[in-house]
Chains A and B, each alone.
Chain A
Amino acid sequence: MTDQSYNFAYLDEQTKRMIRRAILKGVAVPGYQVPFASREMPMPYGWGTGGVQVTAACLVPEDVLKVIDQGADDTTNAVSIRKFFQRTAGVATTEATAEATVIQTRHRIPEQALTAGQILVYQVPIPEPLRFLEPRETETRKMHSLEEYGLMHVKLYEDIARHGSIATAYAYPVRVEGRYVMDPSPIPKFDNPKLSDSPALQLFGAGREQRIYALPPFTRVVSLDFDDHPFDPSKAPHDCDLCGAAESYLDEVITDDAGSRMFVCSDTDFCRSRREAGHVGRLGETAGGGA
């Protein structure tokens, strides 16, 4: 039930209109960061205030909302945002990727392929991919307007010169439709290929930095690389110890102080549905009860 003390989806209508206009301009110019007047939310910056505002502006009463934090449905950030919208918008919630119409995510893209009609809302800490190379907003804005992205390639080259390969493992920069260089939020680079040509609409909200940007469905997104150092969406060379999946992104969990460890799917819904379907990993029997 909606808490009647709040307007639908918490934000006032004037604020939602402002955010909605920013989202539409973001959709019209894929990858460009649209400034918006981010509001104070009843949670601190860094807890997904940008994503929450975008979600609030998009929600309709019929929506089914899923919230994930690093792939997990049951961590503090995911649980609290899910409860926030249950209370203020009265929407149904789910942990199943396929059932959700709006998915707010912190730093992962679900393993299960998204479908048309779904909206994926990313929480973004630093939306400007050039920020750590050029701290001045006036300059980065000029660099985007002139398509001057040489600095980013120098950064990737210096990675190769120093480490022998591109060492950026998350928030790996991408080029959208051959125009804007974009920060895909701190998703692991393993997820980068899923950004491109997705049937779902992808929206990005950065609350503290007051930026919204978007990838419409079927937008071409290319991870930056070099001919002799092609992009490599790497992951831990293991199978999931609970469900045995070989193709999912894994978290490493230390299990004792003697060096024992296990690898498990970061996407909890993906892992659980595989275990329910009978897949068992190396340690599956002992850990299966937690589903």
Chain B
Amino acid sequence: MTHDALTGGFSDAPTQSARAFRAILDALSRPGTIVTVTGATPPAPLSQAAGLVLLTLADGTTPVHLAGAADTPAVRDWITFHTGAPLVAAAQATFALGTWDALAPHDRFAIGTPEYPDRAATLIVELPSLSSRGPQLSGPGIRDRATLSLPETAAFKANHALFPLGFDCILTAGNRLAGLPRSTKVESA
């Protein structure tokens, strides 16, 4: 374990995680809203926002999957030290982290069961940037329409078609994040 693995976490977990959760809650309950967050400095290639989501929500009871370039020894050490989350294969993951391409194929993640749709994975999708230009979003949390820069539309449409099953996404770029729950209908711009 490197020294870096021990740094970059919360200095005051109760209040920092509370503020981080409110930002994540805001993002997921209002799809299309982009929020700015602070508090975590994870090792590269993780974004601050992705690191913060894990610090806030992951622990020993939530298996995490690292996809593609996100799966480095430094990241593994950092997550293990700060959250205690077990690192697992995609199908067992509660949280999966990586770029959109690295997470493919996206149908390998847990989507819940008809009786327990909450037993579905949350994907933390690392994007180069986040903006409100892109495909149209509608559904719960959105007044009329919203737009968000998504990496594609087909996979999100397929995921929404499974509702109430399906995975939920937190899109992260730098210190900003946005939410895309399975309830959101995605249409090409």
Quick check: is A134 within 8 A (CB to CB) of the other chain?
no
The CA of A27 and the CA of B24, in the complex, are separated in Å by 11
Interface residues of A in 1-37 (CB under 8 A from B): 7-9, 13-14, 16-18, 20-30, 32, 34-35
Contact status B118-A216, CB under 8 Å: no
Residue of A7, A25, A220 ringed by the most chain B CB atoms within 10 A:
A25
Quick check: is B177 within 8 A (CB to CB) of the other chain?
no
Contact status A216-B30, CB under 8 Å: yes
Give chain B nearest CB distance to A121 CB in angstroms. Answer: 12
Contact status A32-B117, CB under 8 Å: yes
| Given A18-B61, A219-B140, A28 and B114 contact (CB-CB distance below 8 Å) | no
Give chain A nearest CB distance to B6 CB in angstroms. Answer: 18
Residue of chain B at shortest CB distance from A59: B18
Q: Which of B9-17, B43-51, B96-104 lies at the binding interface? A: B9-17
Quick check: is A209 within 8 A (CB to CB) of the other chain?
no
Give chain A nearest CB distance to B32 CB in angstroms. Answer: 11
Residue of A23, A26, A27, A180 ringed by the most chain B CB atoms within 10 A:
A27
Give the chain A neighbours of B117 by CB distance below 8 A. Answer: 25, 29, 32
Interface residues of A in 98-147 (CB under 8 A from B): 141-142, 144-146
Give the chain A neighbours of B57 by CB distance below 8 A. Answer: 17, 20-21, 24
Please encode chain A, from 169 to 207, with 1 for each CB lying within 8 Å of some chain B CB and 0 for all others: 000000001011000000000000000000101000000
The CA of A198 and the CA of B183, in the complex, are separated in Å by 17
Residue of chain A at shortest CB distance from B170: A24
The CA of A98 and the CA of B58, in the complex, are separated in Å by 34
- Determine which of B24, B61, B114, B140 lies in contact with A30 in the assembled complex, contact meaning CB atoms within 8 Å: B140
Contact status A27-B164, CB under 8 Å: no
Interface residues of B in 43-101 (CB under 8 A from A): 56-59, 61-62, 94
Quick check: is B29 within 8 A (CB to CB) of the other chain?
yes
> What does DSSP make chain A's interface, helix, strand, loop or mixed?
mixed
Contact status B56-A179, CB under 8 Å: no
Give chain A nearest CB distance to B109 CB in angstroms. Answer: 14
Contact status B14-A9, CB under 8 Å: yes
| Given A27-B181, A214-B29, A22 and B22 contact (CB-CB distance below 8 Å) | no
Contact status B14-A58, CB under 8 Å: no
Contact status A29-B164, CB under 8 Å: yes
The CA of A59 and the CA of B140, in the complex, are separated in Å by 23
Give the chain B neighbours of A59 by CB distance below 8 A. Answer: 18
What is the interface of chain A, defined by CB distance below 8 A to chain B? 7-9, 13-14, 16-18, 20-30, 32, 34-35, 57-61, 141-142, 144-146, 177, 179-180, 199, 201, 214-220
Q: A14-B59, A217-B141 are in contact. List 5 more A-B contacts (CB 8 A).
A: A20-B56, A29-B182, A32-B164, A180-B164, A220-B140
User: 10 smallest A-B Cβ distances: which pairs?
Assistant: A8-B14, A28-B181, A145-B114, A216-B141, A25-B118, A219-B140, A216-B29, A216-B140, A34-B118, A28-B168
